[in-house]
Amino acid sequence: MKTVLHPADSRGVAEHGWLSSRFSFSFSHWYEPARMGFGALRVLNDDTIAPSSGFGMHPHANMEIITIVTKGEVTHEDSMGNRGVVRAGEVQVMTAGTGVVHAEKNESALEPLELFQLWITPREAGLLPRYEQKAFDSGASLLVSPDGRDGSLSVMQDAFIERVSLSVGKAMSHAVRKSGNGLYIFVISGEVRAGETTLGPRDALGIQETDHIQLTAEQESELLIVEVPVVD
């Protein structure tokens, strides 16, 4: 088994007043050659957007973009004609494909918006742009899959995203769903032992060349588990 540890304080930082971001991988002005992604996972940004602010219309292409809202709500508008609100507990998937322009704004006058945004490289370029969003029950685990299984949203890659809650002392063996994929374990909150490595809030561990990982919660914890194709 091969692992790579990404402590929370090793992430890139952007502070723009209206936007506070932490980058797990090279993004915007922050360039770190050793942090260009984990397999098909190219971006994992941890964003807080101030009230009455946000990103104006901007383009994307050839990327699967997944937005997981954890606090507040984001107003989305795009060149496909979609306009709507994605609230805490909801997930949005957008296939940028041949090209899409969109805006993401916090239209609340009072409440900050907190979200995770992940970019996954699709299995092929030039796909037709598309958009989905869904509210998930608090007990749901699988958010994203290649085929929309178990009520998840679909992405154009052999990738899976799970949001997992563990009570103190709870242990689980998490299996890799597709042979050859790797796992990127990101701790939203709490403290978890992944194999022999202890992870705190916003720490992450990339794992490959194994078919499972043992997870044990040292504190009440919440995780994102991202499974993607990896290439050495």
pLDDT confidence of 60, banded at 50, 70, 90?
Answer: very high
CA nearest neighbour of 202 among 86, 44, 93: 44
Q: Report, at the CATH architecture level, how domain 2-229 is classified.
A: Sandwich (2.60)
pLDDT, tens digit, for every residue of 176-206? 999 999 999 999 999 999 999 999 999 999 9
Q: What is the pTM of this model?
A: 0.96
Burial class (CB in 10 A: 0-12, 13-18, 19+), 226: buried
What are the residue boundaries of the structural domains of the chain, listed by start? Answer: 2-229
Average pLDDT, the chain: 96
Q: Is the pLDDT of residue 232 over 80?
A: no
Beta-carbon count within 10 A of 5 CB: 12
Q: Cβ neighbours of residue 16 under 8 Å, at least 6 residues apart? A: none
DSSP 61: -
